[in-house]
Structure 1
Amino acid sequence: MDSNRVLTGIAVMAATIMQVLDTTIINVALPNMVGQLDATPDNISWVLTSYLIASAIIMPLTGFITDRIGQKRFLLISIAGFVITSALCGMAVSLAQMVLFRFLQGVFGAALVPLSQSIMLQIFPGEQRGKAMAIWSMGVMVAPIMGPTLGGWLTEQLSWRWTFYINLPVGIVSFVLAMRHVHDTPTRERRMDWLGFASLALGIGALQLILDRGNQDDWFSSQTLVFAAFVTVISLLFFIVYTLTGKHHPLFDLRIFRDRNYLVASLIMTTIGIGFFGGMLLQSLFLQEFLDYPTFEAGLYMAPRGLASFLVMIFVGKFVNRIPPRNFIFAGICASIAGNYLMTRFTGDITANDLIVPMMLQGMGMGLIFVPISTLAFTTLPKETAAEAAGIYSLIRAVGSSFGIAILATYFSRSTQKSWSLLRGDITPYSEALRNYLAPLHLGTQDPQGVAMAARAVLHQAQNIGYIDSFWFATLNFVLMLPLLLLVRTPKKSPSTSPPAVSLE
């Protein structure tokens, strides 16, 4: 492998890891931001929401902007803007400043992942495309897993501001390497479809708002979210009809979904959001809030998942061109089913050793699915659609993860509430079960302290049931993915396959 390819890969992967890591690294720092930014536990979530909305809106424009200014200039602008806004986020002194800087950070960071995917596909020959996607997948999938651990350590040892400042050295190295080694692509004139962009941006932005705030605001009990849902449906329907029927140059060509492998890969990428991203959130909550592990320690217990995923991605990258992608994906789904099933047996008495096998199985499943599905998505596409397809694919991955987190978080909340309603019926002065529970503590059923202790125990049990039900739900999600494998078409091998170009003809 020539040195220029290595340095190009380091440049774009550093930028990718920096951007992806930023989506999870600050999650554990939010409580520490509340006091210093004069925020509340409710409105501090806008620090996350503003970033996600901006990123989702700009991401589909990757192909268009690449055509207009070239991929190298676009990449350099994105890296520089992301580094500058990261520094501004670290210096923010109010919630308004933080939300504004996070929105701008999302704008500049939106294209880093699809650009890196497109460039990685270019610098590797066609027969090594699986290796390219394995390297890319390691950054995209492992970085979010390690984010909470690193964020917890930085927050505890230094300050929450360092969850942003850490981007500066990484971004500077990435910028210098990209400026020297990333090749540019030809530019071409292309008119901006402003009406299409406005409708898509409005629809995606409103959808991201619903997904991010839904569980917190009780979904459609909120008039704001009802209005956002109306805007989402109307905007996206208008965009689809306008794009397919209008006599103009569309924002991007929806006919790209006629490619069966790209369509199936997109569907799988959407559905795994519940099991992978939603499950990752619940596992973190289970360790920190249910088992009362410190943030950094909880991150360490989740490390086997990231390690297993990393190692499996290396293995898959070497053999993805020799073994049909469907076989890897099937094995990954089975590993994910097994890992989630084992988590349905978790109770408050589990030990750290009980976490290792389920976490490793889930990490193996992630590696076995993500690399071949990312490779499969682009294998049968025309080479001139690479950047545009990468932008759409990254948007689908982002929205799918938001869907997964929102659905599983809501399912957990509703299951816990239902279990609490059923179990609290036993907390009465005449309950034999309550009397037997309090007797060893020398407390009576009329004792307020005893009733409070029993209520806490019942809530804890209700949460345990909620976690178990949610892990069952995630398990079923992977089972329902299996029929999609029947739609996968194994691509024909061609020794002369050339890497896709970014320019859209």
Structure 2
Amino acid sequence: MTTLSRPTLEVSHRGWLTASIMLATIMQVLDTTIANVALPHMTASLGASQEEITWVLTSYIVASAIATPMTGWLVDRLGARMLFILAIAGFTFFSLLCGIATGLEEMVLFRVMQGVFGAVLSPLAQSTILDINPRERMGQAMAVYGAGIMLGPIVGPTLGGWLTEDFGWRYVFLVNLPIGILALFGVAAFMPKTPTKTRRFDFFGFAMLALAVGALQLMLDRGQAVGWFQSAEIWIYTGLAISGLWVFGVHCLTAEDPFIDFRMFRDRNFAMGMLFIFVIGLTLFSGLALLPPLLQSLLGYPVITTGIVMAPRGVGTMISMIVVGRLMGKVDARALVLFGLALTMLAFWMMTGFDTQMDRGPIIWSGLLQGFGLGFVFVPFSTLTFATLATKYRGDGTSMFALVRNVGSGVGISIVTSVLARMVATNHEEIASRLTADAPAVRDLVPGLLAHNQALAAQIDGLVTQQAAMIAYIDNFHLMLIFTAMALPIVFLLRTNTGAPKGPTMPAGDH
């Protein structure tokens, strides 16, 4: 197998182009988490209830999930450069409209359009970075891409909290304007025109995949709020997701020109990569979703302090990206992934020792360790996933990679949210059952409970709730540790390959 000695797509300013497309990617990834902390402030402004305002998040996530698989087809029809320009311009424009929305209906519509235009940015950025870098620079290129993908969710809640408190919730969306304009001009100036390719659009296949993904995301986002399978709504979403996925699979296996060519999954690295990124998605974003409410609601940290305490996680990621970019090609990529998983597991083990009286040290050190470990996981693993995949599948491959990562994240967040709610109630009941009249601790330490002191009873109940919640968080950290361990065997099924991907080398538009 010959060595790939030059980039697939020749560019004259690779560094500036990389910076421009990563600006766009970071902007899109930020929007998956940056609006979370602003929801309470939006409620009054948009005239929505607490339940209705969650559609600001759900609409964006569902629209993005449905549109992501279209990336490969759109690259073929429009070319990577034109698609980038349209996606950045559309995302920036609808960010502006979100920032000036006056009602919930407007906001949900604009968030849907944000999700549609933003969906292609992450897979398109990954595909372009793979196209413009030669084989020997692939590790460093994936380090740059990984930094944007992983830092966005970490920075999002902190940046969102600061903007909301100091400037107002509308700036959570308006902050995208300068970033989007810079990215737009950068791509327009530095990315060469890419050829297009005539490719039939398999509407039926896309419709079935969209039905499955959309229903799954709605089930995950709405499940906890409506009591999961106690609600007919969740049963409907589940039925639609299963039937849509089944029909989509049968159609793609039998159609002459399907929406997704399943032959790409014959590549073992790519197939194992999809499974691996799903498992990592379970832990990456769900772990991040747990920390802000733990720090703010349970430990009483202000938003700014929460951001400062969580910042070392991002620092660890940045350091590891630099280190692993230099190690790629010199050390077996699988060994780097195993090392990163071991550090991530160690970080989750440290987090199982959290308590309500701890100082900031355990939070900072576990975050730094986890961020450092995740950098060692994401970069070499992403490189291995696409190391042997034929170039013609790269557009569809990166879109499926992004879709599976997002679905894994949605499943993970739903699992930890549900486990947290259920375990708080279970732990509260378990602890309260021990505070009986004949318990020595009650007689010796809080005899006022026996005298029916209502104020004291309320105070004790608050302490019980606090301890029950902390135990529930620890239960979730144990679960994240198990999920991370589940990814270990997959690494041994990956193959290292320093040669070129199978199949002909093509320009970026000819995937």
Q: TM-score, normalised by structure 1?
A: 0.96
CA distance in 2, matches of 1:500, 1:417: 57
Structure 1 residue 393: Cα displacement: 0.6
Tell me if the contact between 2:11 and 2:132 (Cα under 8 Å) persists in the aligned partners: no
Structure 1 residue 497: Cα displacement: 11
**Structure 2 counterpart of 1:471:** 477
Q: What are the equivalent positions in structure 2 for 1:10-29 lying under 5 Å apart?
A: 10-29=19-38
Structure 1 residue 234: Cα displacement: 0.2
Matched, 1:35 2:44: yes
Structure 1 residue 433: Cα displacement: 2.8
* Match of residue 273, structure 1, among 259, 263, 281: 281
Cα offsets for 1:5-44 (capped at 9, x unmatched): 1111111011001000111111111111111111122121
Matched, 1:375 2:383: yes
Residues 227 and 162 of structure 1, relative CA distance in 2, 3 Å threshold: same
Please tell me the residue identity of whatever aligns with 1:461: Q
* Match of residue 318, structure 1, among 326, 339, 354: 326
**Structure 2 counterpart of 1:283:** 291
Matched, 1:481 2:470: no
Cα offsets for 1:331-387 (capped at 9, x unmatched): 011001100000101000110122222111110111010111111111100112111
Please tell me the residue identity of whatever aligns with 1:369: V
Matched, 1:162 2:171: yes
CA distance in 2, matches of 1:136, 1:194: 31
Moved more, 300-309 or 410-419: 410-419
Tell me if the contact between 1:126 and 1:497 (Cα under 8 Å) persists in the aligned partners: no
Matched, 1:215 2:260: no
Question: Percent identity over the alignment?
Answer: 40
Structure 1 residue 426: Cα displacement: 3.4
Cα offsets for 1:100-149 (capped at 9, x unmatched): 11001000100011111111111111211111111011001011101111
Tell me if the contact between 1:434 and 1:445 (Cα under 8 Å) persists in the aligned partners: no
Q: What are the equivalent positions in structure 2 for 1:267-416 lying under 5 Å apart?
A: 267-416=275-424
Residues 134 and 320 of structure 1, relative CA distance in 2, 3 Å threshold: same
Tell me if the contact between 1:63 and 1:504 (Cα under 8 Å) persists in the aligned partners: no
Residues 468 and 255 of structure 1, relative CA distance in 2, 3 Å threshold: same
Moved more, 443-452 or 400-409: 443-452
Q: What are the equivalent positions in structure 2 for 1:77-88 lying under 5 Å apart?
A: 77-88=86-97
Please tell me the residue identity of whatever aligns with 1:240: G
Q: TM-score, normalised by structure 2?
A: 0.95
CA distance in 2, matches of 1:3, 1:165: 32
CA distance in 1, matches of 2:348, 2:451: 39
Root-mean-square deviation (CA, aligned residues, Å) is 1.9
CA distance in 1, matches of 2:262, 2:351: 39
Structure 1 residue 501: Cα displacement: 3.9
CA distance in 1, matches of 2:427, 2:116: 42
Matched, 1:55 2:64: yes
**Structure 2 counterpart of 1:141:** 150
Cα offsets for 1:286-330 (capped at 9, x unmatched): 111110111121011011111001110111112212211100110
Please tell me the residue identity of whatever aligns with 2:322: I
- SS state of the match for residue 508, structure 2? coil
Residues 204 and 2 of structure 1, relative CA distance in 2, 3 Å threshold: closer
CA distance in 2, matches of 1:347, 1:500: 55
Q: What are structure 1's unaligned runs of at least 5 residues? A: none
* Match of residue 238, structure 2, among 226, 229, 232: 229
CA distance in 2, matches of 1:457, 1:335: 33
